Amino acid sequence: MSDGQIQPAFTGTRCIKPEDIAADNWVFLLDAAASDATCERTDFHASSNSIEWKFVCSGQAPRTREGSIKFDSPEHYTGTVSTKGTTATGNLPLGDVLRTDGKWVDPCTGGAN
């Protein structure tokens, strides 16, 4: 939700190979804050079937982003990423929650995925 409005669902497929995932830092696939130079990861916990993380971002739009993913089977996960802070102009509060749901489709093949 964003400003109390439900946003349309995005669906898509992405091929993720083992070499795409650096040791315990693969949150970049799930949270844009991971590649934002103004953000610092302040928390990360992983278990055999879940991960949780937190980024604190500075700059023109200071914000906090927290996320969690639970793998309920080797082929499926669900999770959330929430944002709290202000817009770049500093006059509008942010309070978005993104819900995600993923599943294994097929092995990666030679095509662009």
Per the listing, tokens 């006059």 go with 91
Contact call for residues 88 and 61 (beta carbons, < 8 A): yes
| Residue type at 38 in one-letter notation | T
* Predicted model pTM: 0.67
d(CA 89, CA 104): 40
Contact call for residues 12 and 29 (beta carbons, < 8 A): no
Return the structure tokens found at 69.
């993913």
d(CA 51, CA 81): 12
Residue-wise pLDDT tens for the chain (113 aa)? 345 555 566 677 777 666 665 555 556 566 777 778 888 889 988 888 888 989 898 877 788 989 998 988 888 889 998 988 877 666 667 788 888 888 887 877 765 54
